[in-house]
């Protein structure tokens, strides 16, 4: 008797999908034991499975739900005077990549000021329920 294939996702306690794939259905229960504590494995119906499921969805209360935008405005212009700043709220758990380092935004408020003219493109790693995004700040 041939085994059937199961699509699965590995997700963290915050709902972020860390890995997706497929395996024999009989292997699925063992798969969960291969990962660190704090992760869970769940089977995904074939109709819901996509290769980029981690980019489009997350897990909430045991269900796969679509991510939503984290912010509405993604472009700002400020004076490059070291005083004027951009300030906006981000979902709890969001980080920004700045100077090749991931910086957690602990208070849920992102603030940026600069005295360097030019376009500053900042990628953000959003909390599990939101799409990652990029903000461009034009410093003039």
CA 83 to chain centre: 31
Which residue's structure tokens are 């980080």? 95
On whether the CB atoms of residues 107 and 46 are closer than 8 A, the answer is no
Higher pLDDT, 48 or 121: 121
Q: What is the mean pLDDT of the chain?
A: 92
Tokens of 86: 């951009």
pTM strictly above 0.85: no
Question: Is the Cα torsion angle 57, 58, 60, 64 positive or negative in sign?
Answer: positive
Determine the pLDDT at residue 88.
97
Q: How many CB atoms lie within 10 A of CB 6?
A: 21
User: What confidence tens digit (pLDDT) does each residue in 82-111 have?
Assistant: 999 999 999 999 999 988 999 999 999 999
Tokens of 5: 């294939």
Q: Give the confidence band of 140 by pLDDT, cuts at 50, 70, 90.
A: very high
Which residue's structure tokens are 């906006």? 88
Q: How far apart are CA 138 and CA 86, in angstroms?
A: 10
Q: Above 90 in pLDDT, residue 1?
A: no
CA-wise closest residue to 93 among 13, 36, 39: 13
Q: How far apart are CA 20 and CA 50, in angstroms?
A: 9
Determine the pLDDT at residue 29.
80
Q: How far apart are CA 34 and CA 10, in angstroms?
A: 11
On whether the CB atoms of residues 15 and 53 are closer than 8 A, the answer is no
């Amino acid at each position: 008797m041939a085994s059937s294939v199961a699509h699965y996702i590995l997700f963290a306690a915050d709902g972020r999908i860390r890995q997706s794939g497929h395996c024999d259905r009989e292997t699925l229960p063992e798969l969960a034991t291969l990962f660190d504590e704090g992760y869970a494995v769940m089977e995904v119906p074939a109709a819901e499975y996509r290769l980029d499921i981690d980019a489009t969805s997350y897990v909430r209360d045991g269900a796969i739900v679509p991510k939503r935008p984290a912010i509405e405005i993604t472009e700002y212009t400020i004076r490059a005077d070291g005083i004027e700043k951009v300030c906006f709220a981000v979902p709890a758990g969001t980080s920004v990549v700045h100077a090749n380092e991931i910086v957690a935004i602990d208070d849920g408020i992102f603030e940026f000021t600069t005295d360097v003219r030019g376009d500053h493109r900042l990628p953000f790693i959003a909390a599990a329920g939101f799409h990652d995004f990029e903000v461009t700040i034009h410093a003039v």
